[in-house]
Copies of this chain bind each other. A is one copy, B any other.
């Protein structure tokens, strides 16, 4: 289920090229818990294409004056909804095929 889109391989300089965001901003949004780049052996941050898309969304929201705390809250809400939907789907599949989960 994880493809190229989620592989963390892009350095912060390239992310800056791709998004136009300053490295300061990119690091700050991480500090606020909005995204989680991996680290290479020597400690440099590595981002995925998904991270880049997320950063663009964050940039849009920030332009509208939305604070990072609110952005984080919304992200958590959305994730919860998504988790519930996949739980329900899984439950229905179980009911049909397993009888006993």
Contacts and interface: CB of A to CB of B under 8 A. Distances in A.
Contacts of A49: 4, 7
A14 interface: yes
B17 A14 contact: no
Contacts of A7: 49
A19 to B, nearest CB: 12
Most buried by B among A4, A13, A18: A4
Interface of A: 3-5, 7, 9-11, 13-14, 17-18, 40-41, 46, 49
14 contacts: A3-B4, A4-B5, A7-B49, A9-B9, A9-B10, A9-B14, A10-B10, A11-B11, A11-B14, A13-B40, A14-B40, A14-B46, A17-B40, A17-B41
